[in-house]
Amino acid sequence: MRAEALIAARFVARFVDVTGQTRALANLAGMRRARQRGRGVEFDEVRAYAAGDDVRAIDWRVTARSGTPHTKLFHEDREQPILVAFDQRPTMKFGSRRCFKSVMAAHIGCLALWSGLQAGERVGGAILGATGISDTRPRRSQHAVLNVIRDLVREGTPHPDTAAPSHSIANLIEQLERITRPGTRLFLISDFHDLLDADHLAPLRRLARKTQIVGISVADALEAELPRAGYYAVTDGNTHSQLDTGISGIRESYAADYRSHQTLISRRLRELRIPLLTLRTDDDPLKRLLTVFPAR
C-alpha cells in the first residue's frame, strides 16, 4: 500500500461530496426520505424585537435592561464530522483482481476523508488491524488524514511475527462508540465476514442511534464465484492444499452460499437504517461513491 496514492486521492476527492444526502443513499437505508441527524442551532446575536418574531426567543434579560423587547437570533449548525473506520485484518489481505480488499478499502476511505475535509468538516479515522486498533480523533486539518494514511501504510506492511488476530469487528464498533459524537457521519468499511455474530450486532445497534453510518462492503470476484473447473493450489500463508472446482455442483453451491451471506448482511444493516454500498477490488472507488453521493 503506497502512501503517495492515498495522498493523491485528495485531487480526485474534489469531485464528490460525502457530506451530502441523496435519495439513492436514503433508499439503500430503507428510508423514504433522508433524515439529517445531529443538526442543531447556535446562538448568533440579539436584536430589537420585530413583528412576527417568535416570542419564545425573546431575551428577557436584555429586554429588562433596555426597557424594549429584544429577541435572540440563531443560525443553523451544519457541522458534520466525518469518521472512517477501516477493517485491515488478515481476511482483507486478499484479492484476485487489481488489488487486495484492504487496499481498496484504504482508497475509498481516504477519498471520503479528503472529501469531508474539503467540505470544511472535521475528519478522523479508526483502523482495525491484526494486532489492535489505532485511531485519529476528528480534526479540521490535513494532518488528521495524513495520520490515518500513516497508520494504514504501517498496517499494510507485512509482519511475519504477528500473532493470530484476536480482535473482532465488535471491538472496532465499541471503540467507535467511545470516540464518535452525535451527528457524525461514519463510514464503516469491511468485508463484514463476522458482522452477523449475535454479539457483534448489539454495539452496532447502539452506535447507529447516535451516528449516521454508511456501510461499505469490499469483496473480490473470487469470493463470489470459484474459477472454472480444475485443480488449484491454495494457501493461507501457513498451510498449503489443493482445490478441485470440477466437483459436481460445487461452483453453484459456493456462489449460492456467498449470495445468501451478502443478502443477510444487507438485510441486517437495513433493519438498522444503515445503507450498504458494495464494492469490488476491480471497481473505481470514485464512481462507486458517486452512485450514492452528490457530485461537486
The predicted pLDDT at position 37 comes to 41
73-87, 152-166, 167-181, 279-293: least confident range: 152-166
The CATH superfamily label for domain 3-19+81-290 reads von Willebrand factor, type A domain (3.40.50.410)
Strand duo 133-139 + 123-128: pairing = antiparallel
Average pLDDT for 248-264: 94
Q: 146 pLDDT band (50/70/90 cuts)?
A: very high
Residue 273's nearest CA partner among 212, 216, 218 is 212
Task: In whole angstroms, give the CA distance from residue 243 to residue 234.
Answer: 7
What are all long-range contacts of 60-69, with beta carbons under 8 Å and residues at least 24 apart?
Answer: none
pTM for the full model? 0.81
Average pLDDT for 168-192: 93
Task: In whole angstroms, give the CA distance from residue 184 to residue 24.
Answer: 20
Task: In whole angstroms, give the CA distance from residue 18 to residue 291.
Answer: 11
By the 10 Å C-beta count (0-12 exposed, 13-18 middle, 19+ buried), 170 is classed as: middle
pLDDT beyond 80 at 209: yes
Spell out the domain ranges in the chain: 3-19+81-290, 43-77
Across all residues in the chain, what is the average pLDDT? 88
The predicted pLDDT at position 236 comes to 75
Cell of 227: 474459477
Q: How many CA atoms lie within 13 A of 67 on its CB side?
A: 0
pLDDT digits over 59-101, tens only?
988 899 899 998 887 655 567 899 999 999 999 999 998 999 9
